[in-house]
Chains A and B, each alone.
Chain A
Amino acid sequence: MSDLSGVHRSHSYYEASARGRLTHLLDAGSFRELLGPTERLTSPHLELLGQPCAFDDGIVIGRGRLDGRPVLVASQEGGFMGGAVGEVHGAKLTGLLELAVHEHPAAILLLLESGGVRLHEANAGLIAISEIIRALLAARAAGIPVIGLIGGIYGCFGGMGIVARCCDRLIINEEGRLGLSGPDVIETTMGVEEFDASDRALVWRTVGGKHRFLLGEVQQLVADDLAAFRTAVVEALGQPLQGLTLESLEREHQGLADRLANYGDCLDATEIWAALGLENPLQVPLLDIPTFLQVASQAGREGA
């Protein structure tokens, strides 16, 4: 028999289900689900369309502890309709964010995995996104840190991409993808000459974790390991809040204007990496996380 006692057993964030992620992210046994599957809060719209429902409508919400501190958490299930936000799904997330304003947890953790609005539910899904954003900003205004985690198979796009960028901080793995229009949407609407969604290398260097980190859209890049995500969240809880003020918004707008001015003519992410001063930009996708972070830091791009 081989001795496997020294082997580190990791749990992939990318491959885990919404529930599995919570089990490994939070303090053992601390999670208490709100509006769980036995409540059978399923989508009224899908039923009318003859589509299968899920007992939790594709999102798990509840209370838990992380490093002993109370947190509210939501975890989207990408496997169910690509994590798309329907009316019930959205209402559960909005309710959790509103609950935070009353309970004042140490943080709200959003495990985001979603293609955006569940278009079967049309306006109900679209309205849900705006309600989520409003509740998220209210929680931030109340001084509660909102930390987004991204790293699932389906990425984080559409309305949930907007929600992600409304968070105080984002943590992502290399496999994670973040954007507004997803690769397939861009290809469908603009043509394959504009963006070839089947080119995985192109997809990852355009919307993947490393690029989002280099652009400063996410604050922490971690290995695809739930333990690494947990460590990063604990670290994030120790960081001062950025604050949601007019000044911070104006800084953000200025940053976007600078980005367009500096990189607006770039045709590929590798050109942006070269402009950022990264050595061997073509090698960036091949670097492991520790080496990548070192290279990024040499180019003046540090996580915060």
Chain B
Amino acid sequence: MGKAVLVGVVTSGNLEVMVERADLNGTCQVEVSTSAQGFGSIWQAVLDDFAARHDLADLRISINDGGATPAVVSLRLDQAMEEFLGMVS
């Protein structure tokens, strides 16, 4: 198993975020699994902000959502990166 972290729990109003190192030619891949329909543009905005805050090259980020609000999603994403970087260094 390569380097990976998992933070958060898929519970009501919360989500889990997994960050894995992957060979993606310098890009970042994000996969969001959610049963809440019609919030694509909000997810995109939250993820754009997230990408502006961190260097996400060659990372695969996978999300299982339990109906989290955008603020909770942002905090979890930052927590995941903090733990991922703490583990690598």
Hey, which bits of chain A sit against chain B, CB under 8 A?
17, 19, 36-38, 50-56, 77, 79-80
Contacts and interface: CB of A to CB of B under 8 A. Distances in A.
Contacts, number: 44
Nearest to A36: B1
Nearest to B65: A52
B64 to A, nearest CB: 5
Interface in B3-23: 4, 6, 9-11, 14, 16, 18, 20
B29 interface: no
A52 B37 CA distance: 12
Contacts of A37: 4, 6, 16, 18
Nearest to B60: A38
Contacts of B62: 55
Categorize the interface residue count of chain B. 10 to 19
20 contacts: A19-B6, A38-B1, A38-B2, A38-B4, A38-B20, A52-B10, A52-B33, A52-B34, A52-B64, A53-B33, A53-B64, A54-B16, A54-B64, A55-B16, A55-B18, A55-B62, A55-B64, A77-B9, A80-B9, A80-B10
Contacts of B64: 52-55
Nearest to A82: B11
B6 A80 contact: no
A36 B34 CA distance: 21
Given A37-B18, A53-B64, A55-B62, A79 B11 contact: yes
Contacts of A77: 9
Contacts of A36: 1, 4, 6
B18 A50 contact: no
Given A36-B4, A37-B18, A38-B2, 6 more contacts: A51-B35, A52-B65, A52-B66, A54-B10, A55-B16, A77-B9
Most B CB atoms within 10 A — which of A17, A50, A52, A80? A52
Contacts of A17: 9
B67 to A, nearest CB: 8
A51 B34 CA distance: 8
A289 B34 CA distance: 43
Contact of B9 (A38, A51, A79): A79
A56 B34 contact: no
Most B CB atoms within 10 A — which of A19, A38, A80? A38
Contacts of A19: 6
Contacts of B4: 36-38
A95 to B, nearest CB: 17
Most B CB atoms within 10 A — which of A50, A51, A55, A56? A55
A19 B7 CA distance: 9
